[in-house]
Structure 1
Amino acid sequence: MNVARCTLDHLIVVAPTLEAGSAYIHDVLGVSPQAGGQHARMGTHNRLLRLGDGIYLEVIAIDPDAPAPARPRWFALDARGADFAPTLAAWVARTTDIAAANAAATESLGTVEPMSRGALEWLITMTPDGSVPLDGVGPGLIEWRVGGHPTSRLEDHGLALAALEITHPDPARVTRLLGALALEGEVTVRAGPPGLVARIETPRGQGTLA
């Protein structure tokens, strides 16, 4: 099956609060993310940081002022307790045909769901239990529909994603999935316990999120 190429779109750092997540990002990268908004369907809110053209970092946390959703929140937020350490939890790949990309995937990435935040509307894959696919290292898929791309609204602080490193006990599974998605972007795969590491260039040097 021929699918449109997927491109690394954004990284997701989960945190118990937006304040804790923002402090973590500032400590590692020297820059604070800017205000985002609310995800009414998920009971979450976010802050964002530009990492270059068409790519950004998202800090996401449970919104204490929002009602609990009828389904598990994304990125396993419900399973993390009340005071966990902010962590790089997931990544998302952009496509212009999410249905075809999801069908071509060699691993289950979830179902395609509509989502919105303010003037932005998109389609995204989500697993029924809110977990991150492929033992926590598989991507979500996203297709932006209305409102353009978030990076057009974000300040440029001179940050750039140098590499996203994926480790997994069976790296061939990850490589096969990325090949099926025709993924473009600085992504490397190696053997090891399931994990994600992002290396980000900043004006003060390279910072690492893991």
Structure 2
Amino acid sequence: MRLDHLAIAAETLEEGVAWAQDRLGIVFQGGGKHERYGTHNKLAALHGGIYLEVIAIDPAASSDGPRWFGLDDFSGPPRLVNWICEPYVLQPLLVHGMQSVPMSRGDLRWDMGVPPDGSLPMGGGFPTVLSWHTDVPPGVTLGSSGLVLEELTVRHPKALEIATELEGVFKDDRVTFHADDNVALSARFCNDNRTVTL
């Protein structure tokens, strides 16, 4: 299983993009609408074929059920809420309530693990999983921003259990797990000798 991308949630897409661009010094591009969940996003490629996503509820769209990424319950300033991985085989990693949901945006097609209530697996502590129906995922096709992910820190009351559960299926030295009373993600990036943490 490999790290595919990180997701920043925001109350509005405009607020989220401005917040991320101001802190990271990069430009978000592309993206589009997810009709199934009534959301929209913008993307920025990171070094090494992964990317950063800003996602929010699309005020011009509706949803027949709960929105993914826990967006129905999201409030407050933009923040990192989710890390998304692509396993070699999707089915065995559909755990913590995730069910495979076929998705599309433009020409892209993929299957995504989403709990029926739209929540994040273990509040975002466990990675959401997906399977791209393409040989070249967005992290490769987007023009690189030059931003490098140095570390992703996962804080969770059951951090050690999550790390143990992922042993044997996920190994990325950039991802660390720490026990904490609250669930929180933070990521450290480097760009032109400048380090920024979200």
Alignment of 1:109-148 (within 5 A): 109-146=97-134, 148=136
Contact 2:4 2:139 in 1 (8 A): no
Other-structure match for 2:161: 173
Contact 1:122 1:145 in 2 (8 A): yes
Q: Which runs of 5+ in 2 are unaligned?
A: none
Other-structure match for 1:92: 84
**In structure 2, what residue type is equivalent to 1:90?**
N
C-alpha distance in 2 between matches for 1:72 and 1:118:
22
Contact 1:75 1:90 in 2 (8 A): yes
Contact 2:38 2:57 in 1 (8 A): yes
CA displacement at 1:207 relative to structure 2: 1.0
Alignment of 1:195-206 (within 5 A): 195-203=184-192, 205-206=194-195
**In structure 1, what residue type is equivalent to 2:69?**
F
Contact 1:14 1:21 in 2 (8 A): yes
- 61, 72, 78: which one aligns with 1:78: 72
Per-residue CA deviations over 1:101-128 (Å, capped at 9, x if unaligned) read 33xxxx5151011101101100110011
Contact 2:32 2:105 in 1 (8 A): yes
Q: Which runs of 5+ in 1 are unaligned?
A: 1-5
**In structure 1, what residue type is equivalent to 2:132?**
W
- Aligned-CA RMSD value: 1.6
**In structure 1, what residue type is equivalent to 2:52?**
L
Contact 2:3 2:50 in 1 (8 A): yes
Q: Partner of 2:167: helix, strand, or coil?
A: helix
- 10, 16, 19: which one aligns with 1:24: 19
C-alpha distance in 2 between matches for 1:198 and 1:109:
25
CA displacement at 1:185 relative to structure 2: 5.1
C-alpha distance in 2 between matches for 1:169 and 1:190:
8
**In structure 2, what residue type is equivalent to 1:200?**
F
User: Is the counterpart of residue 45 in structure 1 residue 33 in structure 2?
Assistant: no
Q: Partner of 2:96: helix, strand, or coil?
A: coil
C-alpha distance in 1 between matches for 2:55 and 2:177:
25
Alignment of 1:2-13 (within 5 A): 6-13=1-8
Q: 1:71 to 1:26 in 2, by over 3 A?
A: same
C-alpha distance in 2 between matches for 1:26 and 1:117:
23
Percent of aligned pairs with the same residue?
Answer: 39
Q: Partner of 2:165: helix, strand, or coil?
A: helix
Q: 1:72 to 1:185 in 2, by over 3 A?
A: farther
**In structure 2, what residue type is equivalent to 1:15?**
A
